[in-house]
Amino acid sequence: MDLLARPAEDPADSRTYLLNQKTAQDYRTAVSESVARVGAKIAGTDRPFTGITVDGLAPTVSGIDLDTPLHDTAAALDELEEVYLRDAVYFHHPRYLAHLNCPVVIPALVGEVVLSAVNSSLDTWDQSAGGTLIERRLVDWTAERIGLGEAADGIFTSGGSQSNLQAMLLARDEACRRALTGAGVPSPEPGTPAPSRLTDVLPRLRILTSECSHFSIRKSATLLGMGAEAVISVPSDEHKRMRTADLADELARCHRDGLIPMAVVATAGTTDFGSIDPLPGIAELCDRYGAWMHVDAAYGCGLLVSRRRALLAGIERADSVTVDYHKSFFQPVSSSAVLVRDRATLRHVTYHADYLNPRRMAERRIPNQVDKSIQTTRRFDALKLWLTLRTMGAAAVGELFDDVIDRAAEAWKLLHDDPRFSVVVEPQLSTLVFRYVPSTDQDPELCDRVNLHARDALFASGDAIVAGTVVDGRHHLKFTLLNPETTLEDIAAVLDLIAEHAGAYLAEQPRPALSAR
């Protein structure tokens, strides 16, 4: 029976919705129809957003009666056009310049079709077989690109926040083990009692990270029961990179105060500025104080296949690394991983269940990925990256990332030379943080309101989407470039739109509008 035109509800027909040998043709027809519609939508999209508001769309969605099925795939797709496809935010459009969302490569989408239909679960060998080996091979490949060594291992995750959480969990448990055994721990200050119980160690643990690092580090500390106050914020320099001198001071203070620096988190591509912390200097300090070194390269991992690989010098000394393939490898969400230098540290997330991965399986060397993951059921997201590498190759992915970095450098010069704007820092990767400046003597608070309005008005128009952030207490705008199809002309046009919306706002203010300097 064709799923595109099913008759009225009949309980006897419910099994025909299942994908199996009998319904394979229905599956092909339904998926072909959905792909054709999405393809047409992508081809015809002339702006990244329609500008629909929450109040405008919510009644349409809430008005759907989920207890009355349509029994017709074509009708369901027609309805989906109204509640989703028409008003979706389309990252593939060259004037989507907001967050770390990338356009995706076609081989990865082929992987999505395959993995969703087969529906392997990557927790145990008896649910995935070849999927397990493919994921392990990609982990090894990534670890080799990083340079972590022969003992490295890792696991695919849902995203950078989960990868960072798992890395902090491993760092915490390793710090506790070392503190209680004295293994590899610097001699404490005279008068500091040696811990003898876990409860003596936990309150003394600290995570040190840049003030520009991702919020998931503080969130991880909270989820791990340490509290956000266990995170020490290290100042950044004028390039928004962690100051190693300040890190050294904070580590020395921890040592004097009897605190345990369980981890130093370096960032290779901060979310706002794309800045890369000085990894070699941080590695030296981690060695000196016996701290776990984690590198959050969720954004900057694309450099692993780029001609700019040297920007990641020092990452090979990390104890753990976060990579988000769904950022700079142009993969669909989700596709991320956490890598570790020493696979033995993954034992901290290993739990055996008799029904799933009993100990005897490990003794028989049966590879169960759940042994090293904080998830149980996991999608076969690795397949997307596998097909990408096997179809287009790592060098081609690197070229795409290099293209957006090149474009960001051109855009920085454009902003730097434009008297309407003030740009914060020259980018290392592909983000630009800037601010519309109406005049040299304009009220800073009015300037804040102007920039907030310009961003909101641009979003409401649907003509382009930019992000926003706060720098030194002041509201700024942000371009995040991850689309190689975005041209300098696109960026210039968006800057003109921002200035137009800002100017319109200023003209409505009670005080006389000042001309742009």
Helix (H, G, I), strand (E, B), or coil: what is residue 384?
helix
Residue 274 to residue 512: CA distance in whole angstroms: 38
Those residues with Cβ within 8 angstroms of residue 445's Cβ, 6 or more apart along the chain or in another chain:
none
The pLDDT value recorded for residue 62 is 97
Is residue 242 a contact partner of residue 236, using CB atoms and an 8 Å limit?
Answer: yes
Rounded to a whole number of angstroms, the CA Rg of the chain reads 26
The pLDDT value recorded for residue 517 is 45
Is residue 323 a contact partner of residue 339, using CB atoms and an 8 Å limit?
Answer: yes
> What are the structure tokens assigned to 237, written together?
């320099």
The pLDDT value recorded for residue 402 is 98
Structural domains in the chain plus CATH codes: 3-75 (no CATH), 148-375 (3.40.640.10), 395-507 (3.90.1150.10)
The pLDDT value recorded for residue 188 is 61
Those residues with Cβ within 8 angstroms of residue 84's Cβ, 6 or more apart along the chain or in another chain:
none
The pLDDT value recorded for residue 1 is 43
The single-letter code of the amino acid at 284 is E
The pLDDT value recorded for residue 440 is 59
Distances in Å between the Cα of 402 and the Cα atoms of 406, 407, 466 are 6, 9, 21
The pLDDT value recorded for residue 471 is 96
The pTM for the full model equals: 0.93
460-463, Cβ contacts within 8 angstroms, sequence gap of 24 or more: 460/51, 460/53, 461/51, 461/497, 461/501, 462/47, 462/48, 462/49, 462/50, 462/51, 463/47, 463/95, 463/497
Is residue 146 a contact partner of residue 135, using CB atoms and an 8 Å limit?
Answer: no
Across the 517 residues of the chain, what is the mean pLDDT of every consecutive 10-residue run? 50 83 95 96 96 97 96 95 97 97 97 97 95 98 98 98 98 93 67 70 96 96 95 97 98 95 98 97 97 98 98 98 98 97 96 92 91 96 98 98 98 97 96 90 87 97 98 97 98 98 92 51
Task: Report the sign of the C-alpha dihedral through residues 136, 137, 143, 149, in that order.
Answer: positive
